Amino acid sequence: MLLADPGAYAPGSLDVCGDPALRRYWLGLFRRHIRTVVAHVAREHPEDPELHLRMEHAAARFLDHLEAVEVDPAARFDTLTLCAERERCLRAAGVADPFRRTKERENAAALTLLPALLSELDGLPVPDRLDALVRGIFAGNVFDLGSPATAELFAKGGTAFHDVRNRLRPRPWLVDDLDAFRLRFDRGVSRALVFVDNAGSDIVLGMLPFAREMLRRGTHVVLSANATPALNDVTHEELGSVLERAAAGDATLREGLREGRLETISSGGGLPLLDLRRLDPALVEMLARTPPDLVVLEGMGRAVESNWRARLHADALKVAMLKDESVARFLGGTLYDLVFRYEPAS
Ligand code: MG
């Protein structure tokens, strides 16, 4: 529905299997990461030793899977299939959502910062506001417990929104279409479909202020989050609750919800990446009925790893902070480079 050329679409940008070094890199990364999830669950749920055992069991099964693909030169996999297998092992072992508490805590913390951030943004002249909103998206997006680099940063307390926003790389970013997008944005967007990424500062301090700016400009905004948990990505259910709490303190969001100009819909996904061929049927139906003129893909997984080459029927924004060395290299950059790609509809 969204894809300009569905036959040519593949939700994987990196050829992980075709490059022995990349193959080793990703298998090693997934192996290290699942161990950090075991430690995370033990830390976050000291009262539930049963859960620790289930988590260890899930990790053992996932490590078996990594071992099996590692020794099989014919095995085909990429970051999407490895993420899917990790979630499958978690669910099979009875681990519903290892990051639920962290997400709740980060959502609550971010919501307390939201009113002051919105006043700050409202006080900026319009040309500066878009820059600040985009830098806010980048800064929020650093809350990512799927990347060892940012998970470590988070554990050390280094993902505080305002600090990160102050330390972002200056423009021009690695991919910087902000000026082209500004012209498009000022022309008016009638309907935006926004695939959001993480909970906490990402959704609350990055994406909601951007969505709110679109509402103020008369855009109908649809926010789409995962159906089921994946790492610290916000789920559709959590998004509803975050939005309600944010709207309690903000008239624009409140009116948007009341008037139906601000909606949420499940993407149908359950991964940090997004396969645009597998969207929730209700979303597919919505796309047929009311196609968006702007689609936003946020986060490295959705915007770069799975959809960098995707060409859409709508104008597209692909916005991400690059939190992995190999993904950064794929785009000719380095860790923490920033990507703001605007692609007019194909
Ligand atoms: Mg994420």
Mean pLDDT by 10-residue block, N- to C-terminus, for the chain (346 residues)?
93 90 96 96 97 98 98 94 97 98 96 97 96 98 90 88 95 98 98 98 98 98 98 98 98 98 98 97 98 98 97 98 96 97 96
On whether the CB atoms of residues 146 and 272 are closer than 8 A, the answer is: yes
- Radius of gyration (Cα) for the chain, nearest Å? 19
Q: At 290, is the secondary structure helix, strand, or coil?
A: coil
Full DSSP string of 26-71: HHHHHHHHHHHHHHHHHHH-TT-HHHHHHHHHHHHHHHHHHHHHHH
Other CB atoms within 10 Å distance of the CB of residue 7 = 5
- Ligand 1 geometric centre to CA of 232 (Å): 6
Question: CA-CA distance, 85 to 295, in Å (whole number)?
Answer: 28
Residue 205 forms beta bridges with which residues? none
pLDDT tens for each residue of 55-109: 999 999 999 999 999 999 899 999 999 999 999 999 999 999 999 999 999 999 9
For residue 338, list its beta bridge partners. 321
Residue identified by tokens 């301090």 is 205
The alpha carbon of 80 and the centre of ligand 1 are apart by a number of angstroms equal to: 13
User: What is the DSSP track for 101-121?
Assistant: HHHHHHHHHHHHHHHHHHHHH
Q: DSSP assignment of 231-296, as one string?
A: TTBPBHHHHHHHHHHHHHT-HHHHHHHHHTSEEEEE----SSS--TTS--HHHHHHHHHS--SEEE
Q: How far is the CA of 160 from the centre of ligand 1 (A)?
A: 17
Residue 215 Cα to ligand 1 middle (Å): 24
Token pair listed for 26: 């990703």
- At residue 307, the pLDDT reads 97
Kindly report whether the peptide bond that precedes residue 125 is cis, defined as omega within 30 degrees of 0: no
- Partners of 224 in the β-ladder: 195, 265
C-alpha 257 – ligand 1 centre gap (Å): 25
Report the separation in Å between the CA atom of 272 and the middle of ligand 1, taken as the mean of its atom positions.
5
**What is the distance in A from the centroid of ligand 1 to the CA of 285?**
25
Q: Which run of H or E residues covers position 124?
A: none
The count of other CB atoms within 10 Å of the CB of residue 51 is 18
Rounded to the nearest angstrom, the gap between the alpha carbon of residue 206 and the centroid of all alpha carbons in its chain is 11
Residue 67 contacts residue 82 (beta carbons within 8 Å): no
Comparing CA positions, the residue from 31, 22, 81 lying closest to residue 326 is 22
Cross-strand bridge partners of residue 265:
224
Q: Which two tokens stand for residue 46?
A: 């000291």
Beta strands in the chain (DSSP E): 175-176, 191-195, 220-225, 262-266, 294-298, 315-321, 338-343
Per-residue pLDDT of 6-34, as tens digits, reads 999 999 888 899 899 999 999 999 999 99
CA of 271 to the centre of ligand 1 (A): 8
Q: Ligand 1 mean position to 227 CA, how many Å? A: 13
The pair of three-digit structure tokens given for residue 262, joined into one six-digit string = 């601000």
Tokens of 95: 């681990």
Unique residue bearing structure tokens 């600090």: 163
The continuous run of DSSP H or E covering 127 comes out as helix 126-140
CB atoms within 10 A of CB 249: 13
Q: What's the 125 CA to ligand 1 centre distance in angstroms?
A: 31
3-state secondary structure 311-328: CECCEEEEEEECCCHHHH
pLDDT number for residue 79:
94
Residue 162 Cα to ligand 1 middle (Å): 20
